[in-house]
Amino acid sequence: MKRRMLQPLLLLFLYGCTPAQQQHDHHHLPAATMEQVLLDMQLAEVYSAMAHPDSITVNVKDMDSLACFYTEILGHYGITQEAFVSSMKWYETHPEELDRIYTRISERLTVMSGKEKE
């Protein structure tokens, strides 16, 4: 799925922008928080795609735009890039948890789009 394809790109991009720190927090973000952040990031991706409808491939300008959106989203929730990347890595090692989060996100996006399951 598209979300699985964007995860490595997102992690690489955010990790590259993350300053090194002396201590690493091995805790992960709660599922509800992670769900909201990932939902907002998906909405940012949709918005970015709509802003560049003729673009078939992701270009550098789109990446810069998404990076700004991601930074703003994390800032809104008071989450550092390092905490987000660390949490994504944790959730990727706990795929059942990550799948539950993405299932809820998918359900929420369906409701938002007005195309509820019949």
Closest CA to 69 of 39, 89, 90, 28: 39
Segments of the chain assigned E as strands: none
Residues 6 or more apart whose Cβ sits within 8 Å of residue 41? 10, 69, 70, 73
DSSP H or E segment with residue 99: helix 95-113
Let me know: does 4 contact 81? Beta carbons within 8 Å: no
| Of 87, 88, 51, 81, residue with least CA distance to 67 | 81
Q: Where are the domains of the chain?
A: 29-113
pTM of the model: 0.69
- pLDDT, tens digit, 9 for 90 and up, residues 22-77: 334 458 999 999 999 999 999 998 888 777 665 555 555 555 778 899 999 999 99
